[in-house]
Amino acid sequence: MNFAATLRIALAALRVNKMRSALTMLGIIIGVAAVIVMIAVGNGAQARVEDQIRSLGSNIIIVFSGSTLSGGARSSAGSQQAITEDDGYAIGREVEEVHAAAPSLRGAGQVVAGNANWSTTFHGITPDYLEAREWPIAEGRGFEQAEMNGAAKVALIGQTVAKNLFGDGAALDQVIRVRKVPLTVIGVLDKKGQNMMGQDQDDVILMPISTARKRVLGASAMAKSRSVGAITVKIRQGVDMKVAEEKMRELLRQRHRLQAGQDDDFFVRNLSEILQAQEAASKVLAMLLAAVASVSLLVGGIGIMNIMLVSVTERTREIGLRMAVGARGDDILSQFLVEAVTLSLIGGVIGILLGVGGSFLVGELAGWRTELSVAAIGLAVGFAAAVGIFFGYYPARKASSLLPIEALRYE
Amino acid sequence: MSTTAPLIHTVGLTKEYRMGSTVVHALRGISLDIAAGEFVAVMGPSGSGKSTFMNLLGCLDQPSAGEYRLAGEEVSRLSPDQLAAVRNRKIGFVFQHFNLLARTSAVDNVALPLLYAGIAPGERRSRAEARLRQVGLGDRLDHPPTQLSGGQQQRVAIARALANDPMLVLADEPTGALDSRTSVEIMALLQALNREGITIVLVTHEHDVAAAASRMVTFRDGRVVEDRANAAIDAAAALARLPSAADETYTD
């Protein structure tokens, strides 16, 4: 008997017991769908971390002044010890592993443009900042050296700020007032998205560091010194981050005249490292999710075996009759095997549809990023078929080894 | 098939079952010849071994000892797969409880032996339809068993037994689950088939049913105790004499 005939017999037998077939498939459907959704969620989490690494810029080390981070009692003393703009330039000049070092000042305030206003963060930067953050300008241009030196009243704005102040209208050459200081928008930054803390990185205004210090921050303490809030440092590709970090630390201690044994008056944060740890964690999470989902697929397979065993018992007389009219043991074996595999494959296909839909729903409803993977779908289907063959074989074997007369007489 | 050799030839056919520690001797040496074209009724009380004999004739079971030649071929030593082929091509079965596949149309039920014979789908269908018309069910081709009366179901089973042009039809209490009028109908059908040349061996414990056969073999305690020719009654004529009861026409 050929395969087409066997397939037809198996399909007919499944059609005859629609309810039972559907219930049997349910285990596989849920298993496959779960595997696909879980892998999609895991991949999504991983992709998010990878995106954050990309948005931060690769090989980034940020130096914060001591007072900025420690807060409380130390912050007042910290203002004197804070890192300076010149520390930033010195790092760029003297540490050979450094590709770009960008000191920046940070502030917050109300921005007004026409009758729209928005509360946001602004950074006083040097051109190296955009270089270090790998942050292209979507339209307009960057700061020129003359503007840097002359504390020109110009600004680059992030996408979120542009949207809130100008809606869909053009932002270029418009005047915005940051803390009442009028600045001309010379460029709009490319979209960056959220950072790892979930902050919107596009909700920002950039201006020359001199402009920020002399015109916008005005009366605050920072305006009077050369101190800055942070230095964003980009390390060259292929260089050991640890070595670069250590050299920067040495240089800063020297410049700040710290004695051996005295605490650093700054913090060095290697953000890529934190993200890489996060990435590793999300990978483990993805694998864990896939493993848990696989268990449900396994349980689904056992469900198939269970039903097929019941089915063999229940259909003993049918098997006997088929043997009486000429079915060989192999015919019966392949019929039940094909039934089991068909169940798991149809279940697998429905499971894929549900899994794809489910991944989409999880993305929409829970707001998680999900990423479908073709490999995961292939894996789930392959596993479903394997489950069908593996768990279908035993009941099929049992059916085919029945003696015709005993099967016919079975009550 | 040789014309001189009998269709069925058994010598000292023995069957023993082991039930726990005791051995049950179901058949104690049956030597019997049945010629092609005969209509034989095998009779006997329950436990006489008649059903066991029938199962051996049908290659559903294998003898403990003895010889069994079917159309000149020694079948008692064949492998299970070879026996399946013999059942498929040479023997048709009719059972007491019809043994039709549930929720499967009459024509598909009849086509089942053809399926295992490797016949192509189109030819399967046409041959199955022809057999159903032969047993008077040309208008019930696509009905599942649940939409057929008992008599109609047994006709489907007979059509199935005939599907692959067997030389032998084995009927095990074919009227056991039917009312008396339908029983006579079925016997008339079997007689008609026998007149066309098909050898029929019928197991029954009812004398009325056995009366349709041309030879009666009686079993007791695993042995043949009587083997005689029978002036067969004509079931079709008997049917005509029955009062025309409310016919079991089935509407759906």
Touching B: A residues 16-45, CB under 8 Å: 16
On whether the CB atoms of residues A282 and A46 are closer than 8 A, the answer is yes
Q: At which of A264, A288, A318 does a domain end?
A: A264
Are B87 and A324 in contact by the 8 Å Cβ rule? The answer is yes
Position A225 in a domain: yes
> Does the residue B7 lie in any domain?
no
Burial zone of A269 (CB within 10 Å; 0-12 exposed, 13-18 middle, 19+ buried): middle
Chain B positions in Cβ-Cβ contact with residue A327 (cut-off 8 Å)? 84, 116
Q: What is the pLDDT of residue A210?
A: 87
Same domain, A260 and A282: no
CB–CB contact B99 A322 (8 Å):
no
Same domain as A288, residue A401: yes
Domain count for chain A, please give it: 2
Letter for the amino acid at B48? S
**Structural domain contains residue B90:** yes
The CA–CA distances, whole Å, from B133 to A241, B127, B144 equal: 89, 10, 16
Point out the domain boundary residue: A264, A296, A328: A264
User: Which of A212, A243, A264 is the last residue before a domain boundary?
Assistant: A264
Q: Are B200 and B39 in contact (CB under 8 A)?
A: yes
Lowest mean pLDDT among A257-266, A324-333, B125-134, B163-172: A257-266
| B98 reaches A (C-beta below 8 A) | no
> Nearest CB to B87: which of A1, A324, A331?
A324
Are the beta carbons of A1 and B116 separated by less than 8 Å? Answer: yes
Query: Is the domain of A12 the same as that of A130?
Result: no
Domain of residue A138 covers 83-264
Over A26-58, what HEC string results? HHHHHHHHHHHHHHHHHHHHHHHHHHHHHHHCC
The answer on A247 and A101 residing in a single domain is: yes
Q: Does A314 touch chain B (CB under 8 A)?
A: no
Using DSSP, state whether B235 is helix, strand or coil. Answer: helix
Asked if residue A67 has pLDDT above 80, the reply is: no
**Is A188 a member of any domain?**
yes
CB-closest option in B61, B80, B118 to A1 = B118
Instruction: Express each pLDDT in B205-246 by its tens digit.
Output: 888 889 999 999 999 999 999 999 888 888 888 888 877 655
3-class DSSP state of A179? coil
> How many whole angstroms separate alpha carbon B133 and alpha carbon A275?
79
> Which chain A residues touch B84 with a CB distance below 8 Å?
323, 326-329, 331
Nearest CA-CA distance, residue A15 and chain B, Å: 9
Q: Does B153 touch chain A (CB under 8 A)?
A: no
From the CB of residue A145, how many other CB atoms can be counted at a distance below 10 Å? 10
Asked whether B26 and B50 are in contact (CB, 8 A), the reply is no
Nearest residue to A178 (alpha-carbon basis) of A145, A201, A154: A154
Q: Is A10 on the interface with B (CB under 8 A)?
A: no
Instruction: Name which of B61, B104, B116 is nearest A331 (Cβ-Cβ).
Output: B116
Cβ-proximal residues to A144 (8 Å cutoff; 6+ apart), any chain: none
The Cα–Cα gap between A105 and A178 comes to: 15
In a domain, B246, yes or no: no
Q: Which residue would you say has higher pLDDT here, B2 or A155? A: A155
Enumerate residues 218 to 257 of chain A having a beta carbon within 8 A of any beta carbon in chain B.
none
**Do B198 and B167 contact (CB within 8 A), yes or no?**
yes
Is B66 at the interface with chain A, CB within 8 A?
no
- Residue B30 belongs to some domain of the structure: no
Question: What mean pLDDT is predicted for residues A65-90?
Answer: 60
* Chain-chain contact of A324 with B115 (C-beta, under 8 angstroms): no
For chain A, the average pLDDT equals 83
Q: Which residues of A108-134 are buried (b: 16+ CB within 10 A; e: fewer)?
A: ebebbbeeeebebbbbbbbbbbbbbbb
* Interchain contact, B116 vs A408, CB within 8 Å: no
Whether A155 and A38 share a structural domain: no
Same domain, residue pair A189 and A165: yes
pLDDT-derived band at A380, boundaries 50, 70, 90: confident
- Is B84 in contact with A323 (Cβ distance < 8 A)? yes
Q: Which two tokens stand for residue A362?
A: 């999880």
Q: Which long-range contacts (CB under 8 A, 24 or more apart) does A272-276 make?
A: A272/A53, A272/A56, A272/A58, A272/A59, A272/A60, A272/A61, A272/A241, A273/A241, A274/A196, A275/A49, A275/A52, A275/A53, A275/A56, A275/A196, A276/A53
A41 lies in the same domain as A15: yes
* A63 found inside a domain: no
Candidates A325, A334, A405: best to mutate against B (most CBs of B within 10 A) is: A325
Contact of A330 with chain B, judged by CB distance below 8 Å, is answered with yes
CA distance B131 to chain A (A): 16
How much is the pTM? 0.67
Confirm whether A91 is domain-assigned.
Answer: yes
- Residues A152, A301 within the same domain: no
Quick: pLDDT tens for B183-202.
999 999 999 999 999 999 99
Rg (CA), chain B: 18
Whether B130 maps to a domain, the answer reads yes
Q: Is the per-residue pLDDT at B251 higher than 70?
A: no
Residue B89 sits at the chain A interface (C-beta within 8 Å): yes
Range of the domain at B209: 36-63+78-241
> How many domains does the structure of chain B reveal?
1
Task: Tell me, yes or no, whether A291 and A321 share the same domain.
Answer: yes
pLDDT score, position B252: 46
A2 at B interface, C-beta within 8 A: yes
Question: Does B146 lie at the interface with A, CB-CB under 8 angstroms?
Answer: no
Write the residue in B80, B101, B160 that is nearest to A318 by C-beta: B101
Q: Do A321 and B99 touch (CB under 8 A)?
A: yes
Q: Is the same domain home to A170 and A194?
A: yes
Q: Are residues A155 and A255 in the same domain?
A: yes
Domain of B58, CATH number, reads: 3.40.50.300
Are B70 and B29 in contact by the 8 Å Cβ rule? The answer is no
How confident is the model over B96-120, as a mean pLDDT?
A: 90
Tell me if A193 sits within 8 A of A51, measured CB to CB: yes
* Cβ–Cβ contact B164 with A under 8 A: yes
From the CB of residue B172, how many other CB atoms can be counted at a distance below 10 Å? 21
Is B11 inside a domain boundary? no
* A210 plus A259 within the same structural domain: yes
Residue B211 lies inside a defined structural domain of this protein? yes
Collapsed DSSP state (helix, strand, coil) of residue A273: helix
pLDDT tens, B4-58?
678 999 999 999 988 888 888 899 999 999 999 999 999 998 889 998 999 999 9
Closest C-alpha to A207, from A328, A122, A81, A313 = A122
Instruction: Tell whether A323 lies on the interface with B, counting CB pairs under 8 A.
Output: yes
Q: Please state the rounded mean pLDDT for residues B79-91.
A: 93
Q: Is residue A15 part of a domain?
A: yes
Instruction: Report the residue from A317, A321, A327 with minimal CB separation from B84.
Output: A327
Q: Pull the structure tokens for residue A394.
A: 């035993």
Is B3 part of a structural domain of the chain?
no
Q: Tell whether the model's pLDDT for residue A318 goes beyond 70.
A: yes
